[in-house]
């Protein structure tokens, strides 16, 4: 009977030592267990809902078509008009000193010129 109890005690000690070794490696994840009221995390924000409305006076993020025409006129294009708008560029046609001409602007804020 003493041998069985001694073997059970040794087995329990080995199991406890093995479990404590795994607990130290898993404690790197900062596991916190609270029992009782007062220890809870607030609910996460609603990321999948409708985005908030833009603030008053917000004019969008792309190139303003009137601004593209004005910049084309500053580059010397007469009778400038927007002929094509894509998500990437705004194309403005008009007439220069040499005849018909085209200027392309990036469709981002400020309308930087991409090419002529």
**Whole-structure pTM value:** 0.50
| pLDDT for 85 | 93
Confidence class for position 14, pLDDT limits 50, 70, 90: confident
Question: Residue 25 pLDDT more than 60?
Answer: no
- 84: enclosing H helix or E strand: strand 78-85
Cross-sheet strand order for the sheet of 99-106: 78-85, 89-96, 99-106, 113-115
Of 10-19, 26-35, 53-62, minimum mean pLDDT range: 26-35
- Print burial letters for 78-103: b (CB count within 10 Å at least 16), e (below 16): eebebeeeeeebbbbbbeeeeeebeb
How many helices (H) and strands (E) would you count in the chain?
2, 4
- Print burial letters for 7-44: b (CB count within 10 Å at least 16), e (below 16): eeeeeeeeeeeeeeeeeeeeeeeeeeeeeeeeeeeeee
| pLDDT for 8 | 77
Per-residue pLDDT tens digits for 53-77: 778 877 677 888 999 999 999 999 9
Per-residue pLDDT tens digits for 87-109: 899 999 999 999 999 999 999 98
């Amino acid at each position: 009977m003493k041998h069985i109890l001694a073997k059970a005690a040794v087995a329990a000690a080995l199991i406890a030592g093995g479990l404590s070794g795994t607990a130290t490696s898993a404690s790197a994840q900062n596991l916190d267990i609270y029992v009782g009221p007062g220890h809870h995390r607030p609910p996460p924000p609603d990321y999948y809902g409708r985005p908030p409305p833009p603030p008053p006076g917000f004019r969008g993020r792309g190139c303003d078509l009137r601004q593209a025409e004005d910049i084309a006129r500053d580059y010397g294009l007469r009778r400038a008009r927007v002929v094509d708008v894509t998500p990437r560029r705004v194309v403005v046609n008009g007439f220069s000193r040499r005849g018909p001409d085209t200027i392309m602007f990036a469709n981002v804020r400020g309308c930087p010129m991409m090419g002529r």
